[in-house]
Amino acid sequence: MNTPLLLLYIFLVSVATAQYEDHLVVRAYLDERQIEEIYPWNLDVWSGDSSLLVGPNDIVVSLDHLEQLQLMQVSFDILIPDLQIHMDVAEHDLELSRSISNAMMADFFLAYHTYDEIQKYLVNLTNAYPTISKYVESIGTTVEGRHIPAVSITGTATGTKKNIFVSGGQHAREWVAPATTLYIVTQLITLYQIDSTVKALLDSTQFYFVPLVNVDGYVFTWTGSNNRLWRKNRSLNHDGSRGVDLNRNWDDHWGTVGTSHTPRDDTYCGTAAFSEPESKAVSQYALKNAPIVGAIDYHSYSQLVLRPYGWTTTVPPDDAFAKTVGDGYAQRILATSGLQYTSQGAWQLYYTSGTARDWYNSKAASPVSYTVELRDTGTYGFQLPANQIKPTGAENWAAFIYFAQTAK
């Protein structure tokens, strides 16, 4: 959008709701004492996978909170100075990009899409390439009874093949994650007959994709601007709050570190490992198609390639190989788009437990498994503009080819 139109829109936009009025996003540099002081504020944490950590934290604060941070002598940088305007502009970008995409009728990746549109797209795509792809309507149902779709892809060559597993969209507000997963699915399917590298890869590999794990949460983020930043699924908790963090609900050191047992928190791990039908369904689909030599779980934001483990500083037996592949993934992105993704052990950034990445490694025995945090590093946060969907997809497609070729 050019500057005059953007300014005109901001001036004319009707703010029917003012949930984010007088709010901004800051990167606050916190110590342990300050974290203890601000935890009761129940802030929306955008960084650290929604956990407050010692060091830099991207947090949504009111003007009153900002004043308190100043009184506490907390050092901070302002990332988004007016969150309400940010939300309004993002909503306009969504409407505009979808109208352009619908008008062109040719490029699915010019805009973000609803759950129903994603389902229809995958049905049409796999129907057009039936010899190498299969649409799985449902690997399980969600809390609210929706289907979790999947796609399997492989070449026509026979013989023993290695299995690679990919998931995306565990966190509802991270829209670019399912979009990127769908981009990779599309490239694999449509390039098979015209790209020798893709053909060789598909003829030797069986791919399984679950592009949108948290279907209910994703649907909820489309129901109004006040719900756009929802993270968890839509389970009803015992205290009346909603949602479990699906990426803290996996049966790998569940509920130990880097998670919360408080239902209202964004990192609430649930009542037990795999208490949620979404995480349980994806894990069962992965085990059904084991052994898996490589797995990726796509998220946003921060531009990171994180390898196991998240719950301990002790590294897996195959850490040296996983580091090589993770570093190579980041290098392919740098060579493609010039953007820096940081490859590191998850424990080096922050502690997490009950994650898909660690479960893929320990329970599905995948030697290389990663959490890939996509664009950006805080300018747009979870509301990455639609014009960055294709660049994000392209840079990760280049890296994914390397990953899939190297996993063994």
What is the C-alpha separation between 298 and 305, in angstroms, rounded? Answer: 10
Contact 354, 269 (CB under 8 A): yes
Q: How far apart are CA 274 and CA 320, in angstroms?
A: 30
**Helix, strand or coil, per DSSP, at residue 374:** strand
Asked if residue 105 is part of any domain, the answer here is: no
Q: Residue 12 belongs to what domain range?
A: 3-87
Instruction: Check residues 266 and 11 and name the one with the higher pLDDT.
Output: 266
Give, as one character, the DSSP assignment of residue 310.
S
Q: Say if 204 falls within a structural domain.
A: yes
Residue 103: pLDDT band by 50, 70, 90 thresholds?
A: low
pLDDT on residue 277: 98
Q: Are residues 267 and 359 in the same domain?
A: yes
Statement: residue 228 has pLDDT above 80: yes
Asked if residue 126 belongs to a domain, the reply is yes
Q: Is residue 108 included in any domain, yes or no?
A: no
Which is higher by pLDDT, 8 or 59?
59
CA distance readout (Å), 125 to 107, 129, 135: 13, 7, 9
| Pair (144, 271) in one structural domain | yes
- Binned at pLDDT 50, 70 and 90, residue 404 comes out as very high
Residue 99 vs residue 71, higher pLDDT = 71
pLDDT digits (tens, 9 = 90+) for 137-177: 999 999 999 999 999 999 999 999 999 999 999 999 999 99
Give a yes or no: residue 100 inside a domain: no
CA 286, 291, 296 angle in degrees (round to 5)? Answer: 55
Confidence class for position 225, pLDDT limits 50, 70, 90: confident
In a domain, 395, yes or no: yes
- Domain count across the chain: 2
136's CB contacts (< 8 A; 6+ apart) are 149, 150, 151, 152
The CA distance from 391 to 397, in Å, is 10
Per-residue confidence (pLDDT) for residue 262, from 0 to 100? 96
pLDDT in tens, 284-331: 999 999 999 999 999 999 999 999 999 999 999 999 999 999 999 999
pLDDT of residue 7: 42
Supply the pLDDT for residue 106: 66
Q: Please check whether residue 362 is in contact with residue 315, taking contact to mean a CB–CB distance below 8 angstroms.
A: no
The reply to whether 263 falls in a domain is yes
Query: What is the tens place of the pLDDT at every residue in 45-74?
Result: 999 899 999 999 999 999 999 999 999 999
166 SS3 class: strand
Instruction: Check whether residue 83 and residue 118 sit in a common domain.
Output: no
Amino acid at 22: D
Which CATH number belongs to the domain containing residue 27 in this structure?
3.30.70.340
Residues 277 and 318 both lie in one domain: yes
Looking at the structure, tell me whether residues 393 and 309 fall in a common domain.
yes
Do the beta carbons of residue 24 and residue 78 sit within 8 Å?
Answer: yes
Q: How confident is the model at residue 101 (pLDDT cuts 50, 70, 90)?
A: confident
- The reply to whether 37 belongs to the active site is no
Does a cis peptide bond (omega within 30 degrees of 0) precede residue 309?
A: yes
**What is the per-residue pLDDT for 14?**
43
Using alpha carbons, select from 351, 267, 261, 226 the residue that is nearest to residue 45.
267
The sign of the CA dihedral 63, 69, 75, 76 is negative
Q: Domain check: are 245 and 297 in the same one?
A: yes
Instruction: Summarize the chain as % helix, strand, coil (round to 5).
Output: 40, 20, 40
Q: How far apart are CA 368 and CA 322, in angstroms?
A: 5
Q: What is the dihedral of CA 24, 27, 33, 38, to 10 degrees?
A: 20
Instruction: Name which of 278, 294, 267 is nearest 204 in CA terms.
Output: 294
- The whole-number pLDDT of residue 13 equals 42
Angle between helices 3-12 and 83-104 (to 10 degrees): 120
CATH number of the domain where residue 173 is located? 3.40.630.10
Measured between alpha carbons, how far is residue 203 from residues 206, 252, 392 in Å?
Answer: 8, 32, 26
Q: With a cut of 70, say whether residue 110 has pLDDT above it.
A: yes
In this structure, the answer to whether residues 296 and 385 fall within a common structural domain is: yes
- Identify residue 127 by its one-letter amino acid code: N
- For residue range 337-363, what is the model confidence (pLDDT) as tens digits? 999 999 999 999 999 999 999 999 999
Mean pLDDT, the chain, whole residue set: 94
- For the residues 89-114, what does the mean pLDDT come to? 85
Does 1 have pLDDT greater than 60? no
Q: Cα separation of 398 and 401, whole Å?
A: 6
Q: Is the pLDDT of residue 401 over 50?
A: yes
pLDDT value of residue 9: 41
Instruction: Say which residues have a Cβ less than 8 Å from residue 32's Cβ, sequence separation at least 6.
Output: 54
**pTM of the predicted protein model:** 0.93
With beta carbons less than 8 A apart as the criterion, state whether 115 and 215 touch.
yes
The two three-digit tokens of residue 110, written as one number: 């010019």
Pinpoint the alpha helices (H) of 244-355: 277-288, 319-337, 346-349
Q: pLDDT exceeding 90 applies to what percent of the chain?
A: 90
Residue 4: pLDDT above 70? no
pLDDT at position 368 over 90: yes
Q: Are residues 267 and 397 in the same domain?
A: yes
The active-site residue, picked from 276, 278, 373, 395, is: 373
Give pLDDT, residue 99. Answer: 85
Asked whether residue 96 is domain-assigned, the answer is no
